[in-house]
Structure 1
Amino acid sequence: MNQNFDIIIVGGGAAGFFTAINSVEKNPKLKVAILERGSEVLQKVRISGGGRCNVTHACFEPNELVKFYPRGEKELRGPFHQFCSGDTIEWFEKHGVELKIEDDGRMFPVSNSSQTIIDCFIQATQKLGIKVLTGQSVQSIFKKDSFWKIETQSENYITETLILATGSNPKIWEMLQNFGHAIVSPVPSLFTFNIKDSRIKELPGVAANVSVKVKDSKLVSSGPLLITHWGMSGPAILKLSAWGARILNDKNYQFTIYVNWLNDVDAEDTEKILKEIKQEHAKKAVSKKSPFELPNRLWESLVLASGIETETKWADVSKIQLQNIAHQLTNASFQVNGKSTFKEEFVTAGGIDLKEINFKTMESKLHQNLYFAGEIVNIDAITGGFNFQNAWTSGFIVASAITN
């Protein structure tokens, strides 16, 4: 028995729900179903942002917002002019969810719970009569005349308009390849660096504002760096991993990074500052207190790595040792040996080739009435609410296109 719908959305995540709700709000006559392969919907929404759901980012200028997307920067400019982060805030407010801005620009529900977002979506689908069908793993997709036929393990569905919002699902990508779509092979995008090094071994939990670069590449990043039990994490590292997703994959995650613990102060200026400190604090122990905006424990570790013993006074530091400290502070090299990814925050670079999508409508350029929303396409962002913003924007654009 075939089940007929005007619109079928495959994927019960953020992009799928947002597309469905906006479509029926724009045209209440539409008969819409969401097919979800799992037993639960909106799982990524539930666990994102540590269970608080980082809905978007307080960057309201489309031309600035696109800069947070290592893949998709050029393509998203038009879409963000149609639906940007300000529109997201307004949309959620209209649906009874107030958002707040944190110091770093990330935006969360005032309730601090992702359940608020889930409840908002579930209530909207119930109110609008959208069918949410779980346990529907798509086995095959056919095109017949002007209709799409979708077979799951238990049902057959027929629809005029098919929207795929399945994120990084290799099985769906494979089906799309059979329809002639090119898929950019997926590689991990947000990950931390595994580093075993005596300078940071005893310092898990210590953070500093740094700049980092990858040796023999143009990859650079700055921001907070967090030392962990397994190496280095924090925004500076995650940004580097996103922008360098392909390059670092090619290096098999074995590479050297240079860390400037003073962010933008170079070795020469650092040496001058150290010489002044040497004169002013001649009788004090070098390792006792950091003269820079650095945690004392990190300073102490870098002093030791420069060949200066714990009790050494500033007066006794040689010119070579001063140069060594300046080097450790501004150009310390660390060997990265592997990566760590967090399952719940997992983002991949890869997906449908962007050249095959019309970004005014998010429709396939190869097949009429086939649309894409969210991470199924080769777009991804750094952390901070940007991946969700891509889900809301693409979902809104699809909904506008199919209801016009």
Structure 2
Amino acid sequence: MVGGGAAGFFGAITCAQFNPEATVLLLEKSGKLLSKVRVSGGGRCNVTHHCFVPTVLSQQYPRGGKQLKEAFKLFGAQETIDWFAQRGVPLKAEADGRMFPVTDNSETIVHCLMQEAQRVGVQIRTGAGVERIAAEPSGNGQSLFSLKLSSGECVMANKVLVCTGGNPKTQGYDWLRELGHAIQEPVPSLFTFNVPASPLKELQGVSVPRAKVRVAGQKLEYEGPLLITHWGYSGPAVLKLSAWGARFFHEQQYNFTALINWIPDFTEETLREHLQAYRQAHPKKVVSANPLFGLPQRLWKVLAALAEVAAETRWAELPGKSTNKLVEALLRMPMEVKGKTTFKEEFVTCGGLDLSSVHMKTMESRVQPGLYFAGEVLDIDGVTGGFNFQAAWTTGYQAGKAMAESLA
């Protein structure tokens, strides 16, 4: 097993469980194991998502969802919950569907995986970076693999599972190209929008539970919680939109116009009707001092100012021109995006090993039998909310099981 992250550990443990006679060795290039698991969810570890319908779960993956649909029927969110529960680590669901260990501590997950690996006999070596994998024919028609380590040492293996994670640089996949695999160029996913000229900078920390963000001139849009930051905009609506539009945004060099709809339940027609009815019912109320639609007071005040509504203007005095601008600000407020910011430490890459190079039932290479893949090295990535870890557990489980059975 090459890579000591979530997929590598899950693949190694599964392989050792299904074939106790196999010698399972996990190689990690750094001195740290499960580093992404430790930092996930602000140190709480967002293990999976409370979504038990494979077709619905697969829709949370901008890349790889279609191919994962069948895999989730074998090992999906429920199986992940059961797996950890059987090992003394119950998970809990939060209101937004994210699932964490009840301890709210990622070390609980790390300890569980380490302990289980030890129990089933997985051998672990850190500081053991694999620089090259070569396939050598063996007498039985199968390949024997030679793994050259950064130390110069060579390790021989009958089967190899590659779980090296995503790589932001295309050169990081050259060794897979050398083995004949197709690669989808890596670009960032799950990032926030930098808006240097944002008129809402002073509102950093203000959020709305539901807004729709769409890209001007494109079909790309996403609806969800939105957070105003000192550099621009964040929150699930932006992060998930960044995942679905990862390749488009990269092509645009992260310079584009996005439009914010602060009240996605309204159309322009129903909004104008609502404003007219409110105006008739509350003619003496000051527009900027009385927020509508449950929007935060500070946000409403700035939106009114952007609509050129004078500070003391009452609804009865509101000119038609300002009403039109208020409608625009509520339904189509433009933000000129000039760059991106990585979301916390949870960098996710769109791209990697093309899924056409892999048998999705077993995660075995179509190009090089005996070589398997799992986790973010594949061109699979999910939106934020525990979906990337679920893909790691699922593909790691599939690969580990298939390897164990092929060695039996």
TM range, normalised to the smaller chain? over 0.9
Contact 1:148 1:159 in 2 (8 A): yes
Contact 2:198 2:232 in 1 (8 A): no
Match of 2:160 in 1: 162
Output one character per residue of 1:330-352: Cα deviation in whole Å (capped at 9) or x when no partner: 11111111100036110010000
Match of 2:78 in 1: 86
1:268 CA displacement: 2.0
1:324 CA displacement: 1.2
Output one character per residue of 1:370-394: Cα deviation in whole Å (capped at 9) or x when no partner: 0001010100000000000000000
Residues 1:283 and 1:343: Cα distance change in structure 2 (over 3 Å): closer
Partners of 1:297 and 1:343 in 2: CA distance: 26
Contact 1:166 1:172 in 2 (8 A): no
Output one character per residue of 1:62-83: Cα deviation in whole Å (capped at 9) or x when no partner: 0110000000011101111111
TM normalised by structure 2 equals: 0.95
Partners of 1:370 and 1:343 in 2: CA distance: 33
Residues 1:216 and 1:246: Cα distance change in structure 2 (over 3 Å): same
Match of 1:153 in 2: 150
Match of 2:367 in 1: 366
Contact 1:211 1:264 in 2 (8 A): no
Query: Is 1:386 the equivalent of 2:387?
Result: yes
Contact 1:199 1:302 in 2 (8 A): no
TM normalised by structure 1 equals: 0.96
Matches for 1:261-272 after TM superposition, within 5 Å: 261-272=262-273
SS in 1 for 2:201: coil
Match of 1:177 in 2: 177
1:289 CA displacement: 1.4
Q: Could you list the runs of 5+ residues in structure 2 that have no partner in the other structure?
A: 138-142
Matches for 1:11-30 after TM superposition, within 5 Å: 11-30=3-22
Partners of 1:346 and 1:168 in 2: CA distance: 9
SS in 2 for 1:18: helix
SS in 1 for 2:202: coil
Let me know the Cα RMSD of the aligned residues.
1.1
Amino acid at match of 1:97: V
Match of 1:5 in 2: none
The count of aligned residue pairs is 396
Amino acid at match of 2:133: I
1:264 CA displacement: 2.7
Q: Could you list the runs of 5+ residues in structure 1 that have no partner in the other structure?
A: 1-8
SS in 2 for 1:399: helix
4+ runs of 1 displaced by more than 3 Å? 169-172
Contact 2:358 2:365 in 1 (8 A): yes
Equivalent of 1:123 in 115, 119, 126 = 115
1:198 CA displacement: 5.0
Amino acid at match of 1:82: L
Match of 1:4 in 2: none
Output one character per residue of 1:158-201: Cα deviation in whole Å (capped at 9) or x when no partner: 00001000011456521110011111110001000011345312
Partners of 2:84 and 2:187 in 1: CA distance: 32
Partners of 1:198 and 1:344 in 2: CA distance: 24
Matches for 1:339-354 after TM superposition, within 5 Å: 339-342=340-343, 344-354=345-355
Match of 2:131 in 1: 139
Partners of 1:30 and 1:203 in 2: CA distance: 58
Q: Which moved more, 1:168-177 or 1:363-372?
A: 168-177
Give the percent of matched residue pairs that are identical in Structure 1 and Structure 2: 47
Partners of 1:39 and 1:292 in 2: CA distance: 52
Amino acid at match of 2:274: I
